[in-house]
């Protein structure tokens, strides 16, 4: 059964304008936080500050997602992609703090500004894991109808996707979002995400 996007072109245009505007304001207002995190990671002295990784985004096109680096260098030494966990022994001391407060995600404001991502949408995945998911459920192709997001209902309520079961749950939640998404729902997801971060709720 075909799955359709509930957002019309006008709503998608407004969503993009909102993303661009808020991302630009965020980059300016949060620049002191960026500087503080940069200094912390530089003082740690064990590698680059920014972590780049190819993900698959809107219309199935690859892009480089940006994060403050939270893991040790060569965290995938055997060359085999590994799923992240909330409590991961590959985290550096500074990285653990950044991850707990979601500060590692701040550089994604640049991804949002560029149009690689949106504030709300399915979390972008690596091709390796997308191929694994599609072996079980080919409906993943509908995810490419949306720009990937910094947060989503699945991000909040399904947490880190450290196994295939959670990845498939995330897929179902993202497909449900696609079929009922709206500007109002996006705002609710954003406010819930901010509430979780401010009050230290785990997700």
pLDDT in tens, 113-129: 999 999 999 999 999 99
β pairing state of 62-68 and 50-56: antiparallel
pTM of the model: 0.91
Q: Would you say residue 4 lies in a domain?
A: no
How far apart, in Å, do the first and last CA atoms of the chain sit?
31
What are the residue ranges of helices labelled H in the chain?
A: 9-29, 31-44, 93-100, 108-114, 127-136, 153-158, 164-180, 183-198
Q: Would you say residue 57 lies in a domain?
A: yes
What pLDDT is attached to residue 163?
Answer: 87
Q: Residue 110, class by beta-carbon neighbours within 10 Å (0-12 exposed, 13-18 middle, 19+ buried)? A: middle
Bridge partners of 120, per DSSP, are: 151
Q: Would you say residue 48 lies in a domain?
A: yes
Structure tokens at 50: 């920014």
What pLDDT is attached to residue 77?
Answer: 61
Q: Would you say residue 154 lies in a domain?
A: yes
What single DSSP character describes residue 7? S
What pLDDT is attached to residue 91?
Answer: 85
What pLDDT is attached to residue 186?
Answer: 98
Q: Quick count: other Cβ atoms within 10 Å of Cβ 135?
A: 10
Q: Would you say residue 162 lies in a domain?
A: yes
What pLDDT is attached to residue 159?
Answer: 81
Counting the structural domains of the chain, the total is 1
Hey, what long-range contacts does 126-135 have (CB within 8 A, 24 or more apart)? 126/53, 126/54, 126/55, 126/56, 126/81, 127/54, 127/56, 127/62, 128/81, 129/81, 129/83, 129/167, 130/56, 132/164, 132/167, 133/164, 133/167, 133/168, 133/171
Length of the chain equals 203
CA angle at 170 for the pair 158 and 125, rounded to the nearest 5°:
110
Q: Quick count: other Cβ atoms within 10 Å of Cβ 190?
A: 17
Cβ atoms 82, 163 nearer than 8 A: no
Residue-range definition of the domain harbouring residue 159: 9-197
Q: Would you say residue 203 lies in a domain?
A: no
Q: Would you say residue 125 lies in a domain?
A: yes
The residues of the chain scoring below 50 in pLDDT are none
What pLDDT is attached to residue 135?
Answer: 95
Which SS3 state, helix, strand or coil, does residue 50 take?
A: strand
What pLDDT is attached to residue 17?
Answer: 98
Q: Would you say residue 170 lies in a domain?
A: yes
What pLDDT is attached to residue 158?
Answer: 87
């Amino acid at each position: 059964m075909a799955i359709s996007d509930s957002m019309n072109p006008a709503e998608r245009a407004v969503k993009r304008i909102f993303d661009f505007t808020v991302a630009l304001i965020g980059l300016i207002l949060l620049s002191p936080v960026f500087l503080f995190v940069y200094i912390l990671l530089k003082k740690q002295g064990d590698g680059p500050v920014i972590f780049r990784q190819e993900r698959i985004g809107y219309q199935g096109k690859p892009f480089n997602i940006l994060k403050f680096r939270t893991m040790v260098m060569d965290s995938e030494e055997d060359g085999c992609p590994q799923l992240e966990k909330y409590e991961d022994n590959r985290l550096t001391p500074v990285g653990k703090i950044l991850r707990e407060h979601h500060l590692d995600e701040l550089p994604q404001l640049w991804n949002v500004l560029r149009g690689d991502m949106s504030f709300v949408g399915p979390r972008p995945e690596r091709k390796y894991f997308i191929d694994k998911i599609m072996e079980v459920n080919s409906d993943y192709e509908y995810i490419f109808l949306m720009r990937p997001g910094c947060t989503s209902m699945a991000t909040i309520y399904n947490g880190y996707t450290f196994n295939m079961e959670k990845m498939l749950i995330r897929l179902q939640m993202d497909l449900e979002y696609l079929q009922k998404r709206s500007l109002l729902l996006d705002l609710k997801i954003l406010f819930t995400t901010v509430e979780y971060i401010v009050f230290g709720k785990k997700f």
